[in-house]
Structure 1
Amino acid sequence: MAAAQRQSPIDIIGQHVFCDDETCKADALNIEYKSGDCCDVIVNEGGFRVNVKRHCGTFLTANHLPNAKFELAQFHAHWGCNSKEGSEHLLNGKQLSGEVHFVFWNTNYMSFNEAVEKPDGLAVVGVFLKEGKYNDNYHGLIDTVRKATGNTTPISMPKDFALEQLLPTTDKRDFVTYLGSLTTPPFNECVIWTLFTEPVEVSYGQLNVLRNIIPANHRVCQDRCGREIRSSYDFN
């Protein structure tokens, strides 16, 4: 990895962010969730993963992404030991309590495995978590993770689960975007990152369900290496 130039996560610092509201349009980012696509949760020593069923019909499109439909592959989260750490990306040097990653793959390629070898193969949407008030929208997910903890087989997701409930409200979906990598091995440099900068609040108790799996599972920030960071609004 010595020659790596686009590793993630990074610190999103205002002076390095370029407002590109002509291309980066918050209202053009669309996740069309097909009910039932998120089928089950598996928990291992590194965290949890929500799997999707075969022939997934949930897609991401956005003005700032390549002209392609990006299909949901899975989602997972990162967190820390306390409320002041846990997110992988930082906002102006500040770490939040956690970060959810929705992983989509570019269907211009034949498969997910092919996509992860391409520089535009994955689009990952990140949602920051902030420890605060209880969030009923996260109850179904967190409760299923709790049930899956300690089990060797996946636990089914609630039938009424709706992915969009985990995102910031539609009026708070401004974002930053940059070219980066996976934050877990093998750290492929294949990701177009889209990070909503408005965090979603979840409670101490909800985060503790995740901490019961592993106290912390976030990667440290990597060198920006001069990369451009674009935003849908004046980040400063």
Structure 2
Amino acid sequence: MRYHIIAEHEDFVAIDKPSGMLSIPDRTQSEPSLKDKLMERYGKILTVHRIDRDTSGLILFARTEAMHQYLCGLFENRGIRKFYSGVVLGMPAKAEGLIDAPIMEDPAHAGRMMVHRNGKPAQTGYTVLETHPQYSLMQFELFSGRTHQIRVHMKHIGHPLAVDPLYGDGKPILLSSIKKKYHLSKSEEAERPMIGRLALHAFELNFTLPNGKDVRLEAPIPKEFKALMQQLRKISGN
């Protein structure tokens, strides 16, 4: 599984992580994580934040103690703006909004989170970029950093992320499910999903370095997200 270097600095490195790769080692050390791979390449690598295994996109690692302390401080004090793109089920009622709903661990399901009044404060801003009856493309901005925050919040408002096995139906998006006259080509034994993984991608980080320089990092929106929207536009005639 390959990763892409978005920015390489003497004090930090920014990576476009593929879906399915661990950001940092898990408790069992069962498989190499992105951090492990970066340590092989750079030597010293320090964890600043993480993104879910099934989420793709931007993640920052520090290369020095000073930058590690600085970046961690930015994350803790909302000094870094974090933007995600995602495909959700259905058509959200509002074109933009703020989901302000506390999140806590789900006591009935290990590894899952839930919205609950006793949870920790969590805020997610959203904008609907393109909408269709089956799926919509959205942009999110995180104003807090709770586990599975976007996934939990989108389930909370009735539009879970596509291909989410924890908070949605987990079903892959197939062209045959949106196109009436779909026929499998003779060279294919089975249909390949248009999107077969969690449809969430961390695409932008904005922050300021200690020297006052503004940094804007971007990991391109996955081509499969764009391809799905293109197909939906064709089907709707737009």
For normalisation by structure 1, the TM-score amounts to: 0.24
Normalized per residue, the structure richer in strand is 1
For normalisation by structure 2, the TM-score amounts to: 0.24
Greater RCO structure (CA 8 Å; 6+ sep): 1
